[in-house]
Amino acid sequence: MAVSCVTTPSDSLQPTVSLISLGCPRTLVDSEVYLGRLKQHGFRPVEQVEGSDVAVINTCSFIQESIQESIDAILDVVELKRRGKLKAVIVAGCLVQRFKENLIKELPEVDGFVGVDGFGQIERVARRVLAGKRRTWLRFRPASMYQGLPPRVALTDGHYAYLKISEGCLKGCSFCVIPKIKGPLSSRPIEELLDEARRLVAERGVQELIVVGQDTSDYGVDRYGRPRIAQLLADLGRSSGAAWVRLLYCHPRGVTPELIETIRDVPTVCKYLDMAIEHADDEVLNRMNRGITQARLLETIEALRRQVPGIALRTSVIVGFPGETEEAFERLCQFLQRVRFERLGAFRYSNEEGSAAFRSADQIPVPIAQDRYDRLMRLQQAIAKDVNQQWLGRTLEVLIDEADPADPTLFVGRTYADCPEVDGTVYVTSPRPLHPGELVPARITDTYEYDLVASVESA
Ligand code: SF4
């Protein structure tokens, strides 16, 4: 996902900086902090990359696809520099942390490289590259969680924001290189997170706080000796001032009775949970080193559905993991038909150098993995369509994201069951103007696979 930054009118003598943020919401928060630091140190954030003095590309390197997207973005920006449309290029983030040596060698036109924890360095690197000096800043043992309350320049619409509670991960899923890129779990203090949340609500008018980390279920284990995600979520729900608090990236092993109670009992905590299962066949789960069985997954999902009526569960799965037999894939499909996730993202296995599974013998040929991906998405599309029909005729609270520029009576929003960027949308008709960030009750008049149509009753 490429995002351009927001223009802030300022003194034209200041050097200008543009930023492209790729990858996940955790990187997006880092990008907001980078811009905040640069602004604090005299740079003027601008929207357009072309014509800016310094262009920063905050990259992703989770899987091959995101690596390619990052390289394409870098080459596009380098081309602008070659044509004299900007002065200096800085590449930051996960691609740098993972492939520093290669990048420095193969991208001589790039002026600066910053690893995943360049929070305290970005402005120095920017000044040096503007002075024509090549500069690299990277730590092999990154402290990839920024400290304190750094200023952030918003890269999301004003009414929602991501709150990054931790970085790094203690789990060791065999397909994943994130612990190698981001290091071990590093959790921020609860008090600091509450301060940041209150500031986002007070200063940016945030209505929806989206809680992110690599594995939010382990939040606090490194700092408090035990998981504190349930308490943090409750505190954010009760005292941040946000109307909605949404939890993402929760490992199913970390769904405790305490966490379920918090989602059930705190009104401002969305009845929504993003909980990646990755697979449902015991042999594959074991080879993925997920540390959980299908039976335990089922137990957790049934407990969530029993104790939190109407909860919307989002998950993600990988097909084509080394050694995945047709029978194992079938067991995954049967499991999805049984638990009927409201929201699901699927990925074909990406064989990542540095991951434990990289040298696995029984890699699945791409055509077979692609066929399984297509079959699974068709299955989920039918489930999603069916699940969405339950809303017909009901009235739901909708958070308005934007107005339709072509139709003054049409607006776009989301329900509690829709996370921005990844889930469905509600198309809302209203006799009166609605504003981004407004929460309105709307009656569902039609349903599609992933989206809903609704109407706001006249006042
Ligand atoms: S929980 Fe697993 S998949 Fe998620 S970041 Fe940690 S190691 Fe990677």
366 and 381, same domain (yes or no): yes
- pTM of the prediction? 0.95
- CATH of residue 383's domain is 3.80.30.20
Q: Kindly tell me if the per-residue pLDDT of 316 is higher than 70.
A: yes
Q: Which atom of ligand 1 is nearest to the CA of 179?
A: 7
Give residue-wise pLDDT tens across range 15-44.
999 999 999 999 999 999 999 999 999 999
- 178 CA → ligand 1 middle, Å: 7
- 123 CA → ligand 1 middle, Å: 31
CA-proximal residue: ligand 1, atom 5 (nearest): 214
- CATH of residue 95's domain is 3.40.50.12160
Q: Kindly tell me if the per-residue pLDDT of 242 is higher than 50.
A: yes
| Structural domain containing residue 435 | 395-455
Give residue-wise pLDDT tens across range 329-364.
999 999 999 999 999 999 999 999 999 999 899 999
Q: How far is CA 70 from the centre of its chain?
A: 16
Measured distance CA(433)–CA(430) in Å, rounded: 7
169 and 214, same domain (yes or no): yes
Give residue-wise pLDDT tens across range 73-118.
999 999 999 999 999 999 999 999 999 989 999 999 999 999 988 8
Mean pLDDT of all residues belonging to the chain: 94
CA-proximal residue: ligand 1, atom 2 (nearest): 173
228 and 360, same domain (yes or no): yes
- CATH of residue 411's domain is 2.40.50.140
Predicted local confidence at residue 414, as pLDDT? 98
Q: Which atom of ligand 1 is nearest to the CA of 249?
A: 4
Predicted local confidence at residue 2, as pLDDT? 43
For residue 28, being part of any structural domain is answered with: yes
Average pLDDT score over residue span 119-142: 83
Instruction: Say how many domains are in the chain.
Output: 3
For residue 147, being part of any structural domain is answered with: no
